[in-house]
Structure 1
Amino acid sequence: MTRRNVPAAAPSETPPRPSGRRLLLGTVWDIAVPVALYYGLRAAGVGVFVALLAGAFLPALTTAVQWLRTRSLEGMAGFVAGTMLLGVAAALVSGSPRFLLAKDGWLTGVAGLWFLISIRARRPLLFHGGRPLLEGRFRSDGTSWDVLWEREPAFRRIWRVSTAIWGVAMLLDAAVRVVMAYTLPMDLVPGFGALLWPVTLVLLQLVNGVYYEVAGLWRLTAGTTTRSPRG
């Protein structure tokens, strides 16, 4: 049954939607470029610790450029840069290259906890992350996600469960990264760590894609399921 008499949604104050090209360039900058810089510096004879530091400052540089251009920061960008700088500061104090190698694991672990904590927030973290990419773009009848959130308990449950999936997956990813940092030869860790990102993300996309289909997310956004009473 199709959804009827759904009032038009007021324009939502969502941030500009990122393009696929922008997301790809951001991913390359944050993951591939630091790894390439590390191995380039190592080939030039630079020590492990200094080469790692050079790559660790790149996300902070990205955030600084964004702030200079817009005088504002996206929440995730500020979180990543702040956590990265804290990790670098701790590594400088300890003087341990192993700790610096494990920084991605600590960062991912904190992010995973943040995802899990946000489940009980007014709206979970993955809702905010998925909205600019999906709302009105994929299998949608044009209904605002604000309307769906208020009227569809199933819609709310789907985003809380998927946020939990991401949180758990990030904690597992973090554990693998920390183990690699303290057990593998140091020059292998940056490369293996970079390869782990696409593995984690692809698995997450597959698991979430199946869950969204089974749980009926696309039926809700496309208006092809019975509208639940407001509650």
Structure 2
Amino acid sequence: MKLRPGFVVEMAVNFLLPWLAYRLALPHLGETRALLASAAPPVAWSLIELVRFRRVDALSVMVVVGIVLSIGAMALGGSPRMLLLRESLVSGAIGIAFLLSLGLHRPLIFYLARATVAREMEGGAERFETLWRERPAVASGMRLMTLVWGIGLTGEMALRAWLALNWPIERFLAVSPFIGYGIYGALALWTLRYRKTMRSRAEKQVETAPSAS
């Protein structure tokens, strides 16, 4: 991967600016309002991306849910440390939803993968439905990915919640993004490797099928 300018800007918005906004606002606004100020840069970035691409993606939805959770925490008299949990609560809720979907006929990863394939090729959704019905390995692979992502996101929530409740706020703001992106990156890399493994197995099955027949 090349270090593109857009990637550098995105990292600065999500890592540097929240910490800087908190430090500048803390002496004048107090901890709660300083925390709200630290959320302004990533929220503004998400809104800009939404206007540019004219679509609501998963990141925008997570930001909106995080804002709703923050407002709810304030309405209930949420402390600054409770506000720190807003992003973890969102990812944790998604992780729990992934785990619960394992009890359904089709897990959540199936719908995410089908939407991706539908955008990449014409008739992709129908083709993915056929693969799901005719290849048991696809179904088991989707369930395993759902399980891994569910455990990863739920574990991320538990870890960041413990840190938010026990660490100083400034240290949490500096370290928490690295923990979150590290876990997401590890999950994404594992998914890519597992997808490659599944594809290799499928190709071998196709190659051995004619000789077996």
TM-score by length of 1: 0.66
**Contact 1:115/1:164, CA 8 A, preserved across alignment:** yes
Would you say how many aligned residue pairs link Structure 1 and Structure 2? Answer: 199
1:80 aligns with 2:62: yes
- Structure 2 residue runs without a partner (length 5+): 122-126
Report what 1:189 is aligned to: 172
CA shift, 1:115, in A, is: 2.0
Report what 1:91 is aligned to: 73
Q: 2:148 aligns with which of 158, 161, 165?
A: 165
Q: d(CA) in 2 for partners of 1:176 and 1:92?
A: 23
Q: Which structure has greater helix proportion?
A: 2
Greater RCO, 1 or 2 (C-alpha within 8 Å, sep 6+): 1
Decide which moves more: 111-120 or 124-133: 124-133
**Contact 2:21/2:37, CA 8 A, preserved across alignment:** yes
What code does the residue aligned with 1:153 have? P
Q: d(CA) in 2 for partners of 1:21 and 1:116?
A: 35
Relative distance call for 1:67 and 1:27 in structure 2 (3 A) is: closer
1:73-100 deviation per Cα after TM superposition (whole angstroms, max 9, x unaligned): 22x2353123211222023221410111
Q: How does 1:96-111 map to 2 (within 5 A)?
A: 96-111=79-94
Q: d(CA) in 2 for partners of 1:159 and 1:24?
A: 29
Report what 1:126 is aligned to: 109
Q: 1:225 aligns with which of 196, 202, 205?
A: 205
Q: d(CA) in 1 for partners of 2:112 and 2:14?
A: 19
Report what 1:5 is aligned to: none
- Structure 1 residue runs without a partner (length 5+): 1-19, 138-143
CA shift, 1:159, in A, is: 1.1
**Contact 1:104/1:177, CA 8 A, preserved across alignment:** no
**Contact 2:15/2:174, CA 8 A, preserved across alignment:** no
Name the SS for the 2:56 alignment partner.
coil
Relative distance call for 1:206 and 1:81 in structure 2 (3 A) is: closer
Q: 1:175 aligns with which of 154, 158, 173?
A: 158
1:47 aligns with 2:30: yes
What code does the residue aligned with 2:201 have? R
Q: d(CA) in 2 for partners of 1:34 and 1:176?
A: 23
Relative distance call for 1:21 and 1:218 in structure 2 (3 A) is: farther
TM-score by length of 2: 0.71
Relative distance call for 1:174 and 1:184 in structure 2 (3 A) is: same
1:152 aligns with 2:135: yes
1:34-57 deviation per Cα after TM superposition (whole angstroms, max 9, x unaligned): 534435525876533222102324
Name the SS for the 1:157 alignment partner.
helix
Q: d(CA) in 2 for partners of 1:187 and 1:120?
A: 40
Decide which moves more: 45-54 or 116-125: 116-125
**Contact 1:34/1:56, CA 8 A, preserved across alignment:** no
Q: d(CA) in 1 for partners of 2:10 and 2:153?
A: 17
CA shift, 1:203, in A, is: 3.1
What code does the residue aligned with 2:175 have? F
